[in-house]
Amino acid sequence: MREKCALAKEITNFNREEAERMISKDMNPLDVVYKYRETEEVFRSYDQPDKCILCDHLFDSIENIAARYDLDVDEMLTKLNSAIIPE
């Protein structure tokens, strides 16, 4: 029984730590890249020929950027979070 409780506590702590590291759609690129440098490459992958997300939209929310460029916000968040969560 103690082993199950210890395991449950470990899983809960892991999930809490992972949730604290999650990037959400209301965050902006400046805060995300400042906190998680490894996300810069993901943002750069969404640059347009005449637009640089990190140059022109540092203070916009990820959700607004996705809407402006007709991007899938859920896909973008998955890629960003994958960049910061070790496998």
Distance, CA of 33 to CA of 35 (rounded, Å): 5
| Model pLDDT for residues 30-51, shown as the tens digit of each residue | 999 999 999 999 999 999 899 8
pLDDT at 17: 55
Among residues 6, 9, 27, 25, the alpha carbon closest in space to that of 17 is found at 9
Cα distance between residue 72 and residue 37, in whole Å = 22
Contact (Cβ atoms closer than 8 angstroms) between residue 57 and residue 67: no
Tell me, yes or no, if the pTM score tops 0.85.
Answer: no
**Could you tell me the fold of the domain covering 23-84?**
SP0561-like (1.10.3910)
Q: How confident is the model at residue 86 (pLDDT cuts 50, 70, 90)?
A: confident
Going from N- to C-terminal start, the domains of the chain cover: 23-84
* Cα–Cα distance, 19 to 87 (Å, whole number): 15
Average pLDDT of the chain, as a whole number: 85
Q: What pLDDT shows up at residue 11?
A: 47
